[in-house]
Amino acid sequence: MLARGTAAVWRLYPFTLILKQAVPEAETTPLRLKIDPGSKTTGLALVADVDADAGQVVWAGEVTHRGQAVHERMQIRAGIRRSRRQRNTRYRPRRFDNRRRTDDWLAPSLESRIANVETWVRRLSRLAPVAAISQELVRFDTQALVNPEVSGVEYQQGTLAGYEVREYLLEKWQRRCAYCQASGIALQVEHIVPRARGGSDRVRNLTLACETCNQRKGSRTAEEFGYPQVQAQAGQPLRDAAAVNTTRWALYRRLQQTGLPVEVGTGGRTKWNRTQRGLPKTHWLDAACVGASTPERLVVKGIHPRHIRAMGRHARQMCRMDTYGFPRTGAKATSVVGGLRTGDLVRAVVPAPSVKAGVYVGRLAVRATGSCNIATARQGVVQGIHVRHCRVLHRTDGYRYGDGDTSEGGGASSPALKGGGSAPDI
Ligand SMILES: [Zn+2]
């Protein structure tokens, strides 16, 4: 369509085309936006229903959050404020008993994760006909387990209930071998009182063990094996607080405010769906497998997830400081020069007589003089490119983009940046 001139690039990230002529009564397939929220990375997938039992992933993305960066920034700010209070250069009343927090307050690092997901739900909804949302809310379904501490459920390997039980056990035993406390290794579901000795398949008789411990224990009970506390711990209920993830619930409430129907799924269901469909474990495939609405057959061929990294936008600090907290630089100059802003992805064409003659694609860092820097992928940072040579490819929006083979600013070789035909995101 780009080659024929019937469409133009509307946005580079996510890659979107706009048709040059209106299509009367155009029919669009409603899409389901599926989300697998994680503490470091959140998987996103747009899924279209092809027919009754098949669905196709249309677009996928993985958003890397900046929780740790936010935390570090907050630490630095706290340090600066503390030193300023001690310095006694002016009167500043102490301030610790006049703070109010709303009930839904979350730590800034957590809030930023939720904001990242909200942003992408909003952006994708604006560009694609998103009709419903699916979100992974909890690790396992307590309702499906029907109060496992009391009644228990039969554990069956390979069934959905089996996956829910497994997720429950992982949470309860903190992803460790109950006997040697080893973590980060493959764990097996293990009967505390072996079945051969009359032990049941109920959750309260199950724990997690590494292969070695499982073998060594053999047909002994946990008590005979020398671990009576495992028996005792299995009978204790899993504290609710341990299983409830505040951030995920907060995200769920925000998603409900979009007005779209929000379906929730469990981690056990996601894993089961993914295993049933023979898909490898990645954030975006996990997202595509969230919830009971996941179609029987999921077409994922040809989809490369867009890697999206949250970067933040501005620093509120007025000027840089030295080690002692005193101003080191002047106040910040303007952040907009010639209509361009630091962080904009630009393509600069510098004409021949100049020593800098050539084409540069990359992120811009504006200077008040108009002579700016461009961080390119190939030549590194190129200095002294005037803004009048620059054309914006993508305005700074708080995120950096990349994928497997072509990352952003990959020079003129990237077809999307040249305006040629590239695999479209949407
Ligand atoms: Zn072990």
Whether the pLDDT of residue 413 is over 90: the answer is no
Average predicted confidence (pLDDT) for the chain = 85
- CA 195 to ligand 1 center in whole angstroms: 20
- CA 346 to ligand 1 center in whole angstroms: 55
Whether the pLDDT of residue 131 is over 80: the answer is yes
pLDDT at 418: 43
Whole-prediction pTM: 0.82
- CA 271 to ligand 1 center in whole angstroms: 24
Say how far residue 253 (Cα) sits from the centre of its chain.
17
pLDDT at 208: 92
Give the span between the Cα atoms of 248 and 255, in whole angstroms: 10
- CA 231 to ligand 1 center in whole angstroms: 15
pLDDT at 146: 58
Whether the pLDDT of residue 174 is over 90: the answer is no
Query: Which residues have their alpha-adjacent CB atom under 5 A from ion ligand 1?
Result: 177, 179-180, 182, 210, 213
Whether the pLDDT of residue 280 is over 70: the answer is yes
- CA 156 to ligand 1 center in whole angstroms: 22
- CA 424 to ligand 1 center in whole angstroms: 48
- CA 239 to ligand 1 center in whole angstroms: 24
- CA 144 to ligand 1 center in whole angstroms: 28
Give the span between the Cα atoms of 92 and 97, in whole angstroms: 14
- CA 152 to ligand 1 center in whole angstroms: 24
pLDDT at 404: 41
- CA 280 to ligand 1 center in whole angstroms: 27
What tokens were used for 344? Answer: 């904009």
pLDDT in tens, 333-390: 777 899 999 999 999 999 988 888 999 999 999 988 989 999 998 889 999 999 999 9
Q: Which residues contact 266 (CB under 8 A, 6 or more apart)?
A: 136, 137, 138, 139, 140, 141, 144, 164, 167
Q: Which residues contact 276 (CB under 8 A, 6 or more apart)?
A: none
First to last CA, the chain: 14
- CA 235 to ligand 1 center in whole angstroms: 20
- CA 285 to ligand 1 center in whole angstroms: 31
Q: How far is CA 21 from CA 6, 8, 24, 251, in A?
A: 7, 11, 9, 38
- CA 229 to ligand 1 center in whole angstroms: 15
pLDDT in tens, 41-90: 999 999 998 877 889 999 999 999 998 899 999 998 888 888 877 776 66
- CA 183 to ligand 1 center in whole angstroms: 9
pLDDT at 80: 81
pLDDT at 88: 66
- CA 149 to ligand 1 center in whole angstroms: 23
pLDDT at 143: 67
Whether the pLDDT of residue 406 is over 80: the answer is no
Half-sphere CA count of 83, side-chain side, radius 13 A: 11
pLDDT at 411: 38
Residue 423 pLDDT grade (very low, low, confident, very high; cuts 50, 70, 90): very low
Give 26 or 114, the one with higher predicted confidence: 114
pLDDT in tens, 220-246: 999 999 998 988 888 787 765 455 688
Residue 157 pLDDT grade (very low, low, confident, very high; cuts 50, 70, 90): confident
117-121: average pLDDT: 96
Q: How far is CA 313 from CA 176, 342, 399, in A?
A: 40, 10, 8
296-315: average pLDDT: 91
- CA 220 to ligand 1 center in whole angstroms: 15
Adjacent-strand bridge partners of 267: none
pLDDT at 335: 79
DSSP 332-383: ---SEETTEETT-EEEEEE-TTSTT-EEEEEEEE--TTSEEEEEESSS-EEE
- CA 208 to ligand 1 center in whole angstroms: 9
- CA 355 to ligand 1 center in whole angstroms: 66
- CA dihedral (416, 419, 423, 426) in degrees, to 10, reads 100
Give 299 or 412, the one with higher predicted confidence: 299
- ω into 14 cis (within 30 of 0): yes
- CA 364 to ligand 1 center in whole angstroms: 53
pLDDT in tens, 193-221: 998 888 888 888 889 999 999 999 999 99
Whether the pLDDT of residue 424 is over 50: the answer is no
Whether 266 contacts 139, CB under 8 Å: yes
- CA 161 to ligand 1 center in whole angstroms: 25
pLDDT at 239: 65
Whether 135 contacts 251, CB under 8 Å: yes
Residue with tokens 């051969």: 196
